Amino acid sequence: MNGEVVVADEIAGAIKCVMESDNEVRKRVKEKSERSRLAVMEGGSSYVAFGDLIDDILRNKAMKET
C-alpha cells in the first residue's frame, strides 16, 4: 500500500463511468460474461472438458482395478 487517499468523488466518478452503457469496459465485461455462461452450458467447452476429465478419471480407475 502506498498510502494514497482516494476521495469519495473520485470513486463515485469511476463507478458512474463504468456503469455507462456505452463504456468499453462494461461492454467487454458483458461479452466475457456471456462467453463464460455459454462455456458452462451443456455442450459448452468447459462442460465438455469437465466431462472428459471425469471419463479419464473413471478410465484410469478401471485400469488400476484390473
Instruction: Name the residue among 58, 59, 34, 39 with its Cα closest to residue 49.
Output: 39
Whether the pLDDT of residue 30 is over 80: the answer is yes
- Under DSSP, the state recorded for 41 is S
Q: What residues does each domain of the chain span?
A: 8-65
The pLDDT mean for the chain works out to: 91
| pTM (whole model) above 0.75 | no
Q: Is the pLDDT of residue 19 over 90?
A: no
